[in-house]
Amino acid sequence: MGVARFSLFKIASSHLHRMHHPSALRQMSFASGLQNSTIFRSQGLIGGQWVAAHDGIWNFFRFNPSTGEIIADVPFMGRRETNDAISSAYQAFNSWSKLTAAERSKYLRKWYDLIMSHKEELGQLITLEQGKPLKEALGEVSYGASFIEFFAEEAKQVYGDIIPATLADRRLFVLKQPVGVVGAITPWNFPLAMITRKVGPALACGCTVVVKPSELTPLTALAAAELALQAGIPPGVLNVVMGNASDIGDALLASPQVRKITFTGSTAVGKKLMAGAAGTVKRISLELGGNAPCIVFDDADLDVAVKGAIAAKFRNSGQTCVCANRVIVQEGIYEKFAEAFSKAVQNLQVGDGFTEGVAQGPLINEAAVQKVESFLQDALSKGAKVILGGKRHSLGMTFYEPTVVTDVKSDMLLAREEVFGPVAPLLRFKTEEEAICIANDTNAGLAAYIFTNNVQRTWRVSEALEYGLVGVNEGIISTEVAPFGGVKQSGLGREGSKYGIDEYLELKYVCLGDMNRK
């Protein structure tokens, strides 16, 4: 085990023993149960084998953000292990890509069935290592599994084309073929769904994958990979490495055997990956940061707007790329909305995710809390007012009070950048044109929300907003059957839906000549 590892376990156990808190004891029981589960893994997956780091380093600890408890330690992998995983995926590609679509579909369907049969365990694992309420975590399992189910069917719908020839002795046709080995880099806020949304279409069309999950939430990824093995997906088709993010990323970018990078995460990292992919001219898909506006017009149904805005803002404690980052309210309804909204937010229960009725868990780590604090301090220094919350929660750790801020202006950090926390800034506008101008005044362009009962306005504003996703009178809009992705600096490409599989396919044109010869 090693002295350092043993000492940390003692410290965590001692800390929890002193707490004697029911939530800590409850989470310890969940952790203990999951560690004995058939899906729990804490090593990397390369070529169908669970492996440690080559140098034997095991000090990559995973903490429960609600309690500080150590859940497990996983190997700290880097360039060498990533290159092994790439080689494994490259070797497996030859046979996996040659299977019929129907055969690959059966493997994916089996994987989906296993994910759903282990829904409770996966949900508990997500809550344990990421912190979101168990109800949300279970919802993520169903959402994540839906991509595997959808692309199991979509695998059989990859069609080519016959092109009318310009010469009588020619026949022209177009094939769609898998791009090859895919490097998938995923975030911590949806540790299952962001993997299945990428791996599902990749495997469906015949690609093989090397996944690098977030260093903050690797255990969910490893559990999903274990279920893929149990589903019979051949060794090397799906590989998982974690540890040194920069070394792993550099290895994926440098390898000519990796033909595509798909990434969900910050815009800053996405730009680095985009630049790095140029060296070997890889295809790249990027789902990056957002600055989602939530526009509430005077004619909106107040109850619908409040409910939708809360769903769009406070899901996952505000830690999603499609969270409403700016609530932009028309002046005629501003005061009434602010009052109703803050009352509803006040009813959100904060606590560990395993407690019944909890709507908001902790932020992922201390850095996330400090970011929220700095953004809020910037707003207050420029004239904004906190009407609810505005400080760390009495629960301690990284819990933060659901917060509502009024009199927010467009020059404040809260309106310029993603806060990625449970803070709802309320901005005021007069006209429809002003609302559109405020909403589009950002480099981001992922999700937007509008609340209105005017059908004509719905069309006008939806078309005018420079965003890849628009929700009308609804705060939760993601689904496996619709394309997910942004414009401007929120990314490239789309995930999910029939369009998502095209990101993993190459077009090949074939010209067959001399057709008149007998």
* Active centre residues (catalytic): 287, 321
CA angle 462, 465, 469 (to 5 degrees): 70
Residues with Cβ within 8 Å of 275's Cβ and at least 6 positions away in sequence, in order, are none
User: Rounded distance, CA 130 to CA 219, Å?
Assistant: 10
Locus of tokens 């589903």? 231
Helix axes 334-346, 302-314, angle to 10 degrees: 50
The length of the chain is 518
User: Rounded distance, CA 230 to CA 243, Å?
Assistant: 25
Q: Say if residues 298 and 330 touch (Cβ distance below 8 Å).
A: yes
Locus of tokens 């990027």? 286
Q: What's the distance, Cα to Cα, between the start and end of the chain in Å?
A: 75
What b/e sequence results for 440-475 when a residue is b if at least 16 CB atoms lie within 10 Å of its CB, and e otherwise? Answer: bebebbbbbbbbbeeeebbeebeebbbbbbbbbbeb
User: Rounded distance, CA 149 to CA 115, Å?
Assistant: 10
Q: Give pairs for 251-256: CB < 8 Å, separation 24+.
A: 251/78, 251/79, 251/82, 251/83, 251/86, 252/82, 252/86, 252/183, 252/185, 252/210, 252/212, 253/183, 253/277, 253/279, 253/280, 253/282, 254/279, 254/280, 255/83, 255/86, 255/181, 255/280, 256/280
Q: Say if residues 284 and 273 touch (Cβ distance below 8 Å).
A: yes
Residue 296 burial by Cβ neighbours in a 10 Å radius (0-12, 13-18, 19+) = buried
User: Rounded distance, CA 10 to CA 486, Å?
Assistant: 46
User: Rounded distance, CA 444 to CA 267, Å?
Assistant: 9
What b/e sequence results for 83-92 when a residue is b if at least 16 CB atoms lie within 10 Å of its CB, and e otherwise? Answer: bbbbbbbbbb
Radius of gyration of the chain (CA): 24
